[in-house]
Amino acid sequence: MAVVHRSVLPIRSQEDIVRVRQATRESAVAQGFSLVDQTKIVTAASELARNTLDYGGGGEVEITRLSDPPRRGVRLVFTDKGPGIADVGQALADGFTSGRGLGLGLGGARRLSNEFSIESRVGEGTQVTIARWR
Amino acid sequence: MTPATGRTLRKILAQYQKELLGDWLQTQLAASTLRPDLMRENELREQSRELLALLQSAAQNGNLEQTDGPEWAGIREFLARLSRSRAQQGFSSAETATFVFSLKQPLFTRLRTEFAQDAQGLADEMWIANNVLDRLGLYTTEMYLKGREEVIQRQQREMMELSTPVVQLWENILALPLIGTLDSERTQVVMESLLQKIVDTGASIAIIDITGVPTVDTLVAQHLLKTVAAARLMGADCIISGIRPQIAQTIVHLGVNLSDVTTKASLADAFSIALKRTQAKLPPQMGTTS
Amino acid sequence: MEKIPILKMGRFLLVTIQVDMHDQLAMQLQENLTDRIVAVRARGVLIDISSLEVVDSFIGRMISNIAAMARVLDAETVVVGIQPAVAITLVELGLSLEGVRTALDVDRGMAMLQQQLAGQR
């Protein structure tokens, strides 16, 4: 598995969420994703970027284009140094929310991705990794 | 005594490239693994020449112990391309790897001439050459398998698209006869073709006929409901038809809720209700005189 | 500051969302729209999102809210022009906008509202 391209964007404001969507779209297009696959990962990115901003108090996302012939993919790693999540299982359940939104953020992002993992420590922060392949 | 550095191997590759190519081609053309039905002689000659040239330059600049180093990138790329094209041409993986392994014979013959008086040196250099070609051969097999995987993936995609036709039955009415089972990947293909057809035709009703779906479990039902929900977002209503008695039984036993969806036993019933609904929906000036 | 225009067409309001909205802009639209519904006594709202390439749960919730608020103010909401890729993604996300009426394009959405209005008379 080879890294084709990597970039890091800050998530500090609502405008940054828009920028994360645009950068994710750019990467998905560059990797030759179909329109539906593009839309799925961009939507997942939007959900997770908003989580990073709202619950993590801001952070950053690393966007990586991957090549693992014949597959090509995009991986996103969202990192924040916020309060962390005490009960990850509960946070993943639909309808769970501690803020605005429908509580579809984490679970929805997981359904829209091929790979999903989350690491969180209370008081230290949260890191969510997703990847989608074509 | 010559130390085992591969120095002679490098020298042979540089000095005797033309002779090596001649010997190698002769071996290949005489071998029982030759496939004149799949590949012409001049193509084989060209590939052999290119591989030898790449091997020579990689061996000259790179470490002979590590064929994954950057100096070997050129030859690895060439072998990857070769394996994929041979996989598509119909060569077996053994035939493809043999192409690389068959270089051993002419190469070893040259080494033997060079080391006529030095058995130890010969053994050392042969060991190095053997390792290099083994690694390249294995790499070829690996790439061959990836090439086959690509072929299989492409065929799967094509089959999936073939198996989900969306037909226009009438103005504003589409039918989607599903055959076989629904997994999440196929559901996406089904949704894509249905929704695109809704855009293209402006249809307001889609009949999903599941006569050809052998079993409906919770997962399949979920996929069906997703398709119905997606069509509704595009402004089209769905009717599910072709529900056989035993499927109706499983649906109820599983506790699947289809109450928000219109269901009909047969495609004909679904069609007649679709006709009624679309007529009712026509703007007044287009409907029958009132 | 950018603002999403709201057009009045007879008894209906037409909103065409053409930009990738950040959250504040979406919240502002929600407020402006309810104000306009009351101001012009609108009976229907058409939200055209055919230019939107992404609808996440936040925008989805905003749309549901607008529909619910409009209903309280006696106006029906129809969302038109959802792109196929967006529809598939919304369903996968678990958001099927129940309670919101949908139509393929502005024409059909308008016909739907007119029919509804005629039926109420």
- Would you state the pLDDT for residue A104? 62
Which residues lie across from B185 on neighbouring strands? none
CB contact under 8 A, A46 and C58: yes
CA B166 to chain centre: 25
Between CA B182 and CA B38 the distance in angstroms is 38
C101 CB near a chain A CB, below 8 Å?
no
For chain B, residues classed under CATH 3.30.750.24 are: 167-286
- Would you state the pLDDT for residue C121? 63
* Residue the block writes with tokens 């906008």: C97
Range name among A106-110, B1-5, B132-136 with the lowest pLDDT average: B1-5
- One-character DSSP codes across B34-100: --TTTS-HHHHHHHHHHHHHHHHHHHHHS-TT-TTSGGGHHHHHHHHHHHHHHHHHT--HHHHHHHH
Residue of A71, A112, A113, A134 to mutate when probing chain B, most B C-beta within 10 A: A71
Tokens of C11: 């008894």
- Would you state the pLDDT for residue B287? 44
Tokens of B122: 């010969």
Domain over B7-160 is classified CATH 3.30.43: no
pLDDT at B125 over 50: yes
Q: What is the mean pLDDT of residues A65-79?
A: 92
For chain B, residues classed under CATH 1.10.490 are: 7-160
CB contact under 8 A, B230 and C108: no
CB contact under 8 A, A43 and C94: no
Residues of C in contact with A100 (CB under 8 A): 58
CB contact under 8 A, B188 and A36: yes
Q: How far C21 CA sits from the closest chain B CA (Å)?
A: 20
Q: How far A84 CA sits from the closest chain B CA (Å)?
A: 32
Question: In chain A, where are the structural domains located?
Answer: 2-133
Between CA C42 and CA C9 the distance in angstroms is 9
Percentage of chain B exceeding pLDDT 90:
42
Q: How far B284 CA sits from the closest chain C CA (Å)?
A: 9
Tokens of C104: 């393929």
- Would you state the pLDDT for residue B116? 84
pLDDT band at B200 (very low <50, low <70, confident <90, very high): very high
Residue C102 is nearest to which of B188, B199, B235, comparing CB atoms?
A: B235
CB contact under 8 A, C54 and A42: yes
Q: Give per-10-residue mean pLDDT for chain C (121 aa).
A: 86 91 89 94 95 92 92 95 96 88 95 88 63
Tokens of B223: 């996929």
Tokens of B132: 């290099």
- Would you state the pLDDT for residue A99? 53
- Which among B101, B96, B103, B90 has a CA at the least distance from the CA of B141? B96
Residue A104 is nearest to which of C20, C24, C57, comparing CB atoms?
A: C57
- Would you state the pLDDT for residue A95? 61
Domain spanning B167-286 has what CATH number?
3.30.750.24
CB contact under 8 A, B283 and C111: yes
ipTM: 0.92
pLDDT at A122 over 80: yes
b/e A112-130 (16+ beta carbons within 10 angstroms → b): bbeebebebeeeebbbbbb
Residues of C in contact with A107 (CB under 8 A): 94
Higher pLDDT, B259 or B272: B272
Q: Average per-residue pLDDT in chain B?
A: 87
- Would you state the pLDDT for residue C105? 95
Residues of C in contact with B196 (CB under 8 A): 84
Question: What number of C-beta contacts closer than 8 Å exist between B and C?
Answer: 55
Kindly provide the residue ranges of all beta strands, DSSP E only, lying in A2-124, ordered along the sequence: 2-11, 59-68, 71-80, 115-121
Residues of B in contact with A36 (CB under 8 A): 188, 192
Q: For chain C, which domains are there?
A: 6-120 (3.30.750.24)
Residue B192 is nearest to which of A36, A69, A70, comparing CB atoms?
A: A36
- Would you state the pLDDT for residue A93? 76
Residues of B in contact with C105 (CB under 8 A): 202
pLDDT at B89 over 90: no
CB contact under 8 A, C96 and B229: yes
CB contact under 8 A, C56 and A46: yes
Q: What is the mean pLDDT of residues B192-217?
A: 93
Domain over A2-133 is classified CATH 3.40.50.1360: no
CB contact under 8 A, A38 and C85: yes
pLDDT at A30 over 50: yes
CB contact under 8 A, A69 and B146: yes
Residue of C78, C80, C91, C121 to mutate when probing chain B, most B C-beta within 10 A: C91
pLDDT band at A96 (very low <50, low <70, confident <90, very high): low
- Would you state the pLDDT for residue B256? 82
B153 CB near a chain A CB, below 8 Å?
yes
User: Which residues are within 8 A (CB) of B281 and not within 5 positions of it... i.e. 6 or more apart?
Assistant: B172, B204
- Would you state the pLDDT for residue B266? 93
- Would you state the pLDDT for residue A64? 97
- Would you state the pLDDT for residue B288? 46
Q: How far is CA C54 from CA B38, B81, B215, B229, in A?
A: 48, 38, 35, 17
B185 CB near a chain A CB, below 8 Å?
no
Between CA B26 and CA B147 the distance in angstroms is 28
pLDDT band at A103 (very low <50, low <70, confident <90, very high): low
Between CA A22 and CA A35 the distance in angstroms is 14
Residue C88 is nearest to which of B191, B204, B236, comparing CB atoms?
A: B191
Residues of A in contact with B80 (CB under 8 A): 69
Between CA A130 and CA A113 the distance in angstroms is 6
Between CA C96 and CA C88 the distance in angstroms is 10
Q: Which of A44-48, B53-57, B250-254, C116-120 has the highest mean pLDDT?
A: A44-48
C91 CB near a chain B CB, below 8 Å?
yes
